[in-house]
Structure 1
Amino acid sequence: MTVKNGERKMGNQVLLQPISMGAWKLRNRIAMAPMTRTFADDQTGVVGPDVVEYYRKRAADGVGLIITEGIVISPRAKGTKGVPGLFTMEQIEGWKKVTEAVHQAGGVIVAQIWHVGRLSHHEIAGGLPPQAPSALRAEGHVHRLGKPYDTPEEMSLADIQEVIQQYVQAARHARMAGFDGVEIHGAHGYLIDQFHSDTSNHRQDKYGGDLRQRLTFMKEVTKAVIAEVGADRTIMRFSALKDDQREYMWEDPVAAVQTFVEAFKEAGLTMLHPSTMNFDQVIAEGKTLHELVREYWDGSIIGVGNLSPARAEQAVQDGIMDVAAFGRPFLANPDLVSRVTQGEDLVAYNGREHLQVLV
């Protein structure tokens, strides 16, 4: 089955042009979005040759930017079986093979660094209860484990500083492994986003309060990571979407986006990756998430959300975003860039067929 993308009619003159973003000279404006694949060794968190080939193949086809699957920053950051890590030398050595293969193919690759917070279970998180801003259990079940989420342990001030340093260490390890930079996962109801939300953060100290105050943890993490690898090698992913609260939306999206963007600027960021399931979903005042972000942000924006190449081309031309990220289409089309370049239809993503296919 194929998906018609309309390229024969309109072409992709802008989408296929090179762009300088941060420290990187990208060969086009197409990015591979982060997708949890759970193909690392579950005991060690080390990636193997199949993961190397998975990323190498997309790089060899010409994708401009690859953002990896989420890579956990500590044993306690883990929220499902089979996810990779960046906290041991063995894990670093495994990732070196990936980055070398991507670079040999002419690609740019950044590591998405990740802590799931309360969306975990002690059987996965190193025998310890999950960490969270407050001791409030999430609704739902742990991916692949099938058990209800554990009640988390509220993080002490010392815990918070320790986790900030784990983010810094992960960023340092990413550079040691040959990554070109990092993306901080601050979205989807995971640890950083748990600090953002009043449904998961009931703290009374400087990390709690109104949204502006709840963004303190994110700013501290970001400033520390930027100090380690540079603002020109650091992306922030953020979203209203939450893995455990599928219908969640900010009460006042316009005010929320303004507050987030102000905090991102204070933290020193220059590149954002707003995340939504539907790029064209209107959330306030007739505007989409990316349109609202662009209204207040003049830095780089990576757009994502069930994009077609034709829609991505138009959004880049309109200045809504600078780079278009594709997720599931890259699972079904390792040759996505070639197909877009040649004006060919994309193979439609099929969950049963493509979910477990790594390469």
Structure 2
Amino acid sequence: MKKAFEPIKVGRHQLQHRIVLAPLTRFRATLEQAVPTDLLVDYYLQRASPGGLLITEATFISRLAGGYRQAPGIYSQEQIDSWKKVTTAVHEKGAVIFLQLWHLGRAGSSNLNPNREPIVSASAIPIPGTKPNGKPYETPRPLETLEVKELVQTYRQAAINAIEAGFDGIEIHNANGYLLDQFVNSSTNKRTDEYGGSTENRSRLTLEIVDNIVDAIGADRTAIRFSPNGSVQGMKDEDPVKTWGYLTTQLQKNHPGLAYLHFIEARSDFTADGKVNTVDTLEPYRQLWKGPFITAGGFSTAIKHSVDLAEKTGNLIAFGRAFIANPDLPERIKNEYHLNKYDRKTFYTHDAIGYTDYPFHSDNNSKL
């Protein structure tokens, strides 16, 4: 367990351990204005530890970036001011916190846009299958080339807003079938302009966003999350190792000082409560990236495997479900305390139940 609790420098900060709060959508912001509430202050404060890294839930970069109700934004002054309460509380406890920047793309819904604007993507290709209500997914409108360039500036401004809100850095959500992932994957990007076709062109938007955010706030306050081989929301790429290998190589070449790269293990399944993930498909990217590397996906049901992986690779390990139910997760893992069980029914509700009411450990807890 030595490596998992060994200090590591991430961006401008010296972390004291490598147990990371993964970005987790929880729907506790306000309904109309997407403003973080005091519940979020309590939630992140509970999970903060001296020298620990927290990554916030995915946060919308603009009003049209997505329509999930009660997910927070970072595009208004009220949102910025409310996030300041979160960052202030977390910093007083000695933790480091990054904000994850988000655009849903075709995973959104026109019904939830302010004027029912159509959803957008790289190409006019809907998510396959049907929604939970049995209806087909909407066909998105392809972004015009000029709109893609404007999108880069929207990400840049969102990053600037995050720094104003007191965050230590930002993580670009470039994974899990959302807009930027839709540009990267060959199955969802059939464009014929400079942002489509070759691996280099499909990667262009991501790399331009990184360039612009680095220019605005610095490489050491910039990070990014990827999900190679991911199939969430209909993702599929013709050659994942080539695609994400290219992205990683370009980031290593042009921005070796990024705070970290964050990769999701492709074969993990957070919807299967009993499944234990003990595979590792991310080694090709570790070989290319020389800076801090966060591995995520399926570790909440494989604590020993996660600790072993940290020992083998030196990676930081991001936990989702286990961190939801155990606000003091780093301490529990270090001391091999018993873990609280999470309640999936409260993941996406809107109050304190299943959010800020999980107990901390006690001396009576049994060993793992």
- The TM-score, its normalising length taken from structure 1, stands at 0.88
Secondary structure class of the residue paired with 1:347: coil
Counterpart among 12, 22, 32 of residue 43 in structure 1: 32
* 1:79–1:119 contact (8 Å) kept in structure 2: no
2: CA distance, partners of 1:290 / 1:201: 23
Structure 2 residues without counterparts, runs of 5 or longer: 269-276, 357-368
Counterparts in 2 of 1:140-179, with a 5 A limit? 140=129, 148-179=136-167
- 1:46: how far off? 0.1
Matches within 5 A, 1:210-229: 210-229=198-217
1:139 is aligned to 2:132: no
Q: Please state how far the C-alpha of 1:258 moved relative to its aligned partner.
A: 2.2
Name the CA distance, whole Å, in 2 between partners of 1:329 and 1:133.
34
Cα deviation per residue 1:285-316 (whole Å; 9 max; x = unaligned)? xxx33212112222210011122332222212
Taking a change above 3 Å as real, the CA distance of residues 18 and 24 of structure 1, as seen in their structure-2 partners, is same
The alignment of Structure 1 onto Structure 2 pairs a total of residues equal to 338
1:335 equivalent in structure 2: 328
Higher relative contact order (CA 8 A, sep 6+): 1
Moved over 3 A (4+): 140-143, 145-149, 248-254, 277-282, 353-356
Which range moved further: 100-109 or 12-21? 12-21
Which AA in structure 1 matches 2:304? A
Equivalent residue for 1:303, pick from 292, 295, 300: 295
Runs (5+) with no aligned partner, structure 1: 1-11, 283-287
CA distance, structure 2, for counterparts of residue 351 and residue 32 of structure 1: 17
SS of 1:237's equivalent in the other structure is: strand
Question: RMSD across aligned C-alpha pairs, in angstroms?
Answer: 2.1
Residue in structure 2 matching 1:313, options 307, 317, 332? 307
Contact 1:112 1:182 in 2 (8 A): yes
Correspondence 1:90-109 to 2 at 5 A = 90-109=78-97
Counterpart residue number, 2:69:
81
CA distance in 2, matches of 1:135, 1:69: 28
* Further displaced range: 152-161 or 103-112: 152-161
Secondary structure of 1:317's counterpart equals: helix
Q: Within 2, Cα distance between the matches of 1:192 and 1:263?
A: 16
The equivalent of 1:260 in structure 2 is: 247
Instruction: Tell me if 1:31 matches 2:20.
Output: yes
Q: CA deviation at 1:277?
A: 5.5
- Quote how far apart the aligned CAs of 1:341 are: 2.6
Letter in 1 for 2:196: G
Question: Post-superposition shift, 1:211?
Answer: 1.7
1:21 is aligned to 10
Partners of 2:75 and 2:135 lie apart in 1 by 26
Q: Which range moves more in the overlay, 107-116 or 335-344?
A: 335-344
State whether residues 185 and 237 of structure 2, in contact with CA within 8 Å, keep that contact through their aligned partners in structure 1. no
Question: Is the contact between residue 6 and residue 18 of structure 2 (CA under 8 Å) also seen in structure 1?
Answer: yes
Cα deviation digits, residues 223-274 of structure 1 (max 9, x gap): 00111111111111011324312xx554434333422222323552532101
Aligned partners of 1:222 and 1:267 also within 8 Å: no
Give the secondary structure class of the aligned counterpart of 1:324: strand
Residues in 2 aligned to 1:233 and 1:146: alpha-carbon distance in whole angstroms: 42
Counterpart mapping for 1:272-291 below 5 A? 272-276=261-265, 278=267, 288-291=280-283
Counterpart position of 1:200: 188
Name the amino acid aligned to 2:31: D
Q: Secondary structure at the match of 1:183?
A: strand
Find out whether 1:349 has 2:337 as its counterpart. Answer: no
**Helix, strand or coil for the counterpart of 2:27?**
coil
The alignment-based identity, stated in percent, is 36
Q: Cα 1:155–1:254, aligned 2, differ >3 Å: closer, same or farther?
A: closer
